[in-house]
Structure 1
Amino acid sequence: MDQNTRLSAAGGPAQRVSTSIAPEQFVPDHLFLYILAGELRVYDGSQRLTLRTGDYYLVRKNRLVRYDPASAGADCEMTFFCFEEKFLQSFQAKHQTAAKKTRHSDTFVPINQQEIIPAFIRSLPHYWDASGKIADVFADVKYEELLLILLQNQPELADILFDYGLPGKISLDKFMNRNFTFNVGLPRFAFLTGRSLSAFKRDFQAIFNQTPSRWLVQKRLQEAYFLLAEKNQKPSEIYFDLGFKDLSHFSFAFKNRFGLAPSALIKKKHMK
């Protein structure tokens, strides 16, 4: 198994991966995720979950997800299947599968516990190639088998899997205030709010009276100041969750905004 494999929701063959995962992701395709060993903490902008050995979820497409790399120890392993739209359309036409209404709106959709799913996962090593992926000759068959299992077990998943629509136009204010900590590009924010990039920038300026890039930095730094000054958290505990790439970048931006380093703010607070 390749220790440098990164968890990617961009599609392609089902994979087994270890702990070297991309910590922050836009999910462009529906993703079936199964935790083989260890645990992994995840955040989707609304809720935090801890996924443990034997847990499995359907992760919705067109969502933002952050994986906490600190939670994934050396024993954390998982397998995932990315259901690309072309495959889903072909499957739906072949099996004449009708969409069912579902009450779930969560990013991580819980799947009913059935022994057939862990049994399917246990069968996969027989089909892996040397890189830990399902060999191409078996890939479509195993994808179809898993999808049949999921839909037989939980028919309402069809309403999620066979929804081919793009994100519609939504409240920019509400979305950005909920997701400002995700370190993704403006085109991605524009797509998820149902706008072209130019419309996103125009609407953003009208609502916030700032450019998106400037607002994002200031919003993250304001939240950082609050967490350091009021919640007694450490810089090392918050910089990643607030969308900063590393601690030095966070410290530089913080000092540039407030005139003192995060450590100096903490020291000043303790002297009062």
Structure 2
Amino acid sequence: MIHKHQHYDLLGKVVLERVVFTPPLRLKEDMQSEACLLYSVKGSSSLYDTDQKHSLDSGKGALMKCGNYFNHWHINKDDAQNEAIAIHLYPDLIRYVYRDDLPEFLTAKGKHSGPSVLMLDGSQLLKPYIESLLLYFNNPEIVDEEVIVLKVKELLSLLYKINSNNVREMMHDLFNPNNFDFKKIISKNINEDLSIEELAHLCNLSLSSFKRKFKAVFDDSPASYIKNKRLEKAAQMLQVSQDRVSDICFDCGFASVDSFSKSFKQRYGSTPSDYRNQMLN
């Protein structure tokens, strides 16, 4: 549930954004024409891109180049509300902010195949910047276009001063989406807690287009193929691992132990526990 949503816009687009909410919250992020810095003031999430899953915790940020993402914010142990700050970056916004006189650190140096997301773990440069944004969100009457322009320029300058070659390389490549392989996305995310709709989003496809492409590539429906692959992995883990059945269930991407046990018995003729005992004997 979202309790507070504030944003300051420029050129008709959301630039500075603050959200306070109660998790769990699952969000599809469509960023085909923008980049973003996402910062968790409070709370943790699993952030998925086309290549991998990232853990975003309190006091950490994620620099995301243009593309599609999925973000799952988790329930806090103390049942506290979450708070997140996002700074959205667009090519025309950056040109406007610098009046087309782009600094050298933003000029293109050619495409590269770097990651889609860079985690900025507790950077001491970012923390005071985020605190300054919170001051503006708590005092909206002092925010105008000049403030927004200054905060965008400040962020870009800070990012480039973070002691990381990866960050600097991404700064030259924020608006060049990575190419992805359909099979690779499915393979890397098949045991994650993602729905078919969420997988389609990561592939930047509508649900109907995703199902058609999936059938053409794997000669099976997404639901059938994914469930069978998850069951196969679970069966392997039951043979070689002493992990609890519930842990194996969630590690293989099933939402509940009951649904996992029912599907497993339909496939292998016995419950997961009985199957493990049979294999051991």
Q: Same fold (TM over 0.5)?
A: yes
* Counterpart-to-counterpart distance in 1, 2:141 and 2:187: 42
Q: CA RMSD in A?
A: 4.2
Equivalent residue of 2:2, what SS? Answer: coil
Give the deviation of 1:109 after TM superposition. Answer: 1.0
What residue number does 2:77 align with? 73
Query: Which amino acid in 2 is paired with 1:27?
Result: E
Q: Does 1:221 align with 2:221?
A: no
TM-score of the superposition, structure 2-length normalised? 0.67
What residue number does 1:100 align with? 108
Query: Which amino acid in 1 is paired with 2:233?
Result: E
- How is 1:45-194 mapped onto 2 (pairs within 5 angstroms)? 46-47=51-52, 49-65=54-70, 67=72, 69=74, 72-74=76-78, 77-81=82-86, 83=88, 88-95=91-98, 96=100, 97=102, 98-101=106-109, 105-111=114-120, 115-128=124-137, 135=140, 138=143, 144-153=149-158, 154=160, 156-163=169-176, 170-182=180-192, 183-186=194-197, 189-190=199-200, 192-193=202-203
| Worse overlay, 251-260 or 102-111 | 102-111
- Measured against aligned partners, the alpha-carbon deviations of 1:34-67 in whole angstroms (never above 9, x if no partner) come to 3435766656575565545532221344344565
Equivalent residue of 2:38, what SS? Answer: strand
- C-alpha spacing 1:179/1:137, structure 2 compared with 1 (3 Å): farther
- Structure 1 segments, 4+ long, off by >6 Å, are 139-142
Q: Does 1:248 align with 2:245?
A: no
Contact 2:65 2:170 in 1 (8 A): no
- C-alpha spacing 1:205/1:124, structure 2 compared with 1 (3 Å): closer
Contact 1:100 1:156 in 2 (8 A): no
* Counterpart-to-counterpart distance in 1, 2:145 and 2:53: 33
* Counterpart-to-counterpart distance in 2, 1:257 and 1:243: 16
Give the deviation of 1:92 after TM superposition. Answer: 2.9
- C-alpha spacing 1:34/1:45, structure 2 compared with 1 (3 Å): same
- C-alpha spacing 1:105/1:136, structure 2 compared with 1 (3 Å): farther
Identity %: 21
Query: Which amino acid in 2 is paired with 1:232?
Result: Q
| Worse overlay, 153-162 or 207-216 | 153-162
**Count of aligned pairs:** 254
Aligned to 1:208, which of 209, 218, 239? 218
Higher relative strand content? 2
Q: Provide structure 1 residue ranges, at least 5 long, that are not aligned to the other structure.
A: none
TM-score of the superposition, structure 1-length normalised? 0.68
Query: Which amino acid in 2 is paired with 1:126?
Result: L
* Counterpart-to-counterpart distance in 1, 2:3 and 2:115: 24
Equivalent residue of 1:239, what SS? Answer: helix
Give the deviation of 1:20 after TM superposition. Answer: 1.3
Give the deviation of 1:145 after TM superposition. Answer: 4.2
- C-alpha spacing 1:217/1:149, structure 2 compared with 1 (3 Å): same
Aligned to 1:264, which of 263, 270, 274? 274
* Counterpart-to-counterpart distance in 2, 1:238 and 1:140: 52
* Counterpart-to-counterpart distance in 2, 1:209 and 1:158: 40
- Measured against aligned partners, the alpha-carbon deviations of 1:207-262 in whole angstroms (never above 9, x if no partner) come to 32222221111112212222232223223224344333333222222222222222
Query: Which amino acid in 2 is paired with 1:236?
Result: S
* Counterpart-to-counterpart distance in 2, 1:197 and 1:180: 16
